[in-house]
Structure 1
Amino acid sequence: MIKNVNLIVPELQFDENNELIISPSPTSSKDDFDFFQGKFKLKNLKLKTFFDNCNEWIEFESTQEMYKVLHGLGNIDNFIAIRNGKPFEGMTVRLFNPKTKLWSMYWADSSRATFDPPVIGSFENNIGYFYTKDVINNQNVIVVFRWDVTDKNKPIWSQAFSNNNGKTWEWNWFMYMTKVE
């Protein structure tokens, strides 16, 4: 049950140093993640391997709980799952910069206990795009997180990687969420 595999990512812009240019939407605000407060049950579908034409998806359940911090300028969530028969925990710290009107998201998990590079972006019309550069499988990639909150009780988060500066994308993780509290 993979939905939205052929999602389109907005065209990326780069500066003269090949750095991503990420601009906020006109409606970006510190309240963009309010829909995510509370507890959710998640159905995860994740590609088994990346960048090798893999069509095998690993499916697992998880839970997520988010709460606001810093007077609403940030939030933290805990992601709890069993992966490969072992307990797995992740967390996201999200911070909204009122000057730039951009969100920065920092992910860490129990397999590495270090923050990934921040994923930066904003929402427009209940769809959010957040980007970063990273190294995956020894390849320089651009990462995109896409949040679809057209149904605030059943948001969909998805992730894709591009190893060619955004010309093509490999969608590799989907979270189908259901609010439980």
Structure 2
Amino acid sequence: MKTDSLEIPAIHFDENGELIIIASESSSKDDFDFFQGKSVIRNKKLKKRFANSNEWIEFPSTQEMYKILNGIGNIDNFLATFDGEPFEGMTVRLFNPKTKLWSIYWADSTSGTLDKPVVGSFENKVGHFFSKDVFEGKNVIQVFRWDARDENNPVWSQAMSDDKGKNWEWNWFMYMSKTN
């Protein structure tokens, strides 16, 4: 199921096919302050990607985020249970004061490696972070979208495009509620 229901800014490529990502004017090291502390999360994840599926898996998780590197970075721990087994994920977010871009790295207890970062910035409390990637042998572009307009109940979502950003398939939503 491909959808454009959540607005994604236009993406641009250079002559070598690399993504061009430019920070918003308002981008700052404080963009993720809303997420600091503990949250409980209701996850809604597409069961099968790029299969015209609209079957979703829902599960609970928790997350805790804290700042690092004198405020130009943060780390969070994501805890869930999949198929009766404990699962742990970790996100490292780093803000480059020169480019005003955030780089977001993910690692989990399944792979033990850092994924390529998604890169971007916030504008009006909504952030978009992009990367080129490969999913099941397909070249894709992925986007993470952070909606912090309700700072006590932010929403993270992920979409992928297999046609250079013309169409997007949303495959994961995380509805967060702050616990402190």
Asked whether the two chains share a fold, i.e. TM above 0.5, the reply is yes
Partner deviation per Cα, 1:88-117 (whole Å, 9 max, x = no partner): 000000000000000000000011111111
Cα distance, 1:5 vs structure 2: 7.3
Q: Which residue of 2 is the match for residue 57 of structure 1?
A: 56
RCO comparison, higher one (Cα < 8 Å, 6+): 2
Cα distance, 1:127 vs structure 2: 0.4
Q: Which residue of 1 is the match for residue 177 of structure 2?
A: 178
- 1:12-27 equivalences under 5 Å are 12-27=11-26
Query: Is the contact made by 2:4 and 2:167 (CA closer than 8 Å) also made in structure 1?
Result: no
Partner deviation per Cα, 1:36-87 (whole Å, 9 max, x = no partner): 1000000000001110111110000000000000000100000000012211
Secondary structure of the structure 1 residue equivalent to 2:150: coil
Cα distance, 1:29 vs structure 2: 0.3
- 1:101-140 equivalences under 5 Å are 101-140=100-139
- The CA distance in 2 between the partners of 1:26 and 1:68, in whole Å, is 22
Query: Is the contact made by 2:144 and 2:156 (CA closer than 8 Å) also made in structure 1?
Result: yes
Aligned length: 178
Q: Which residue of 2 is the match for residue 39 of structure 1?
A: 38
Query: Is the contact made by 2:104 and 2:117 (CA closer than 8 Å) also made in structure 1?
Result: yes
RMSD: 1.0
Partner deviation per Cα, 1:128-149 (whole Å, 9 max, x = no partner): 0000011111111000000000
Secondary structure of the structure 1 residue equivalent to 2:93: strand
The residue type paired with residue 124 of structure 2 is N
Q: Which residue of 1 is the match for residue 28 of structure 2?
A: 29
TM-score normalised by structure 1 residue count = 0.97
Secondary structure of the structure 1 residue equivalent to 2:52: coil
Partner deviation per Cα, 1:10-38 (whole Å, 9 max, x = no partner): 11110000100000000000000001100
Q: Which residue of 2 is the match for residue 69 of structure 1?
A: 68
- 1:147-166 equivalences under 5 Å are 147-166=146-165
Secondary structure of the structure 2 residue equivalent to 1:71: helix
The residue type paired with residue 137 of structure 1 is E
Change (3 A) 1:5 1:47: farther
Unmatched tracts of structure 2, length 5 or more: none
